[in-house]
Amino acid sequence: MELLEYHFDNLSGNLYYDEKNNTYEMFSGIGKPKHLNYLTFKELFKNINNRKDLIFLETGIASAGTNSTYLFDHYIRKYGGRFWSVDINRNLVDSHKGNMCSATSLVCDDSVNFLKNWIKENPNKQPDVIYLDSYDLDWYDPQPSAMHGLNEYLTLSPVLKKNSLLLNFFFFNPFIYL
């Protein structure tokens, strides 16, 4: 959990932690500001509990917000395993590559295409943690983002295993246990 706390201590947002009442509130302005996704990632890290040699897949390389790519890379550095992250933006991929450990692979591709290829190239691997966050949500037209997220999920569904952890911000249910 120390990795998580350190990471999120450097992010702020509209979620506030009131130490006096031990509560979290959106937009209250009372207490310490936290990133909107803090509680979701806190639950994830509680569930992976410093397990070693996990396989992480992420769609959408850190460009703003949680900087999850760096969080997952740091986890892999500390506990071993493998981490793949994909983004369609070549400049974004290239700008982060030099900051990652050797067990992290950043790939420029459409996420659905990447996931199909990942499954073919890794027939004996099943992801432990999956973070689907590749298509920015347009609140005025949410369907393209939702459909892309659904296609990512459907592509991965044959290789999901019991106890895989899936974080998905397309369907307004950010944490799913399989």
- Please enumerate, as own/partner, the contacts of 169-176 that have beta carbons within 8 Å and a separation of 24 or more: 169/37, 169/132, 169/133, 169/137, 170/132, 170/135, 170/137, 170/145, 170/146, 171/146, 174/37, 174/40, 175/40, 175/43, 175/44
* Among the listed residues 68, 50, 51, 47, the one whose alpha carbon sits nearest the alpha carbon of residue 59: 68
pLDDT in tens, the chain (178 residues): 688 888 888 777 888 889 999 998 888 888 888 888 888 889 999 999 989 999 999 998 976 677 899 999 999 999 999 999 999 999 999 999 999 999 999 999 999 999 999 999 999 899 999 998 877 767 788 788 788 888 999 999 988 888 889 887 644 444 444 4
Q: Cα–Cα distance between 29 and 14 in angstroms, integer?
A: 8
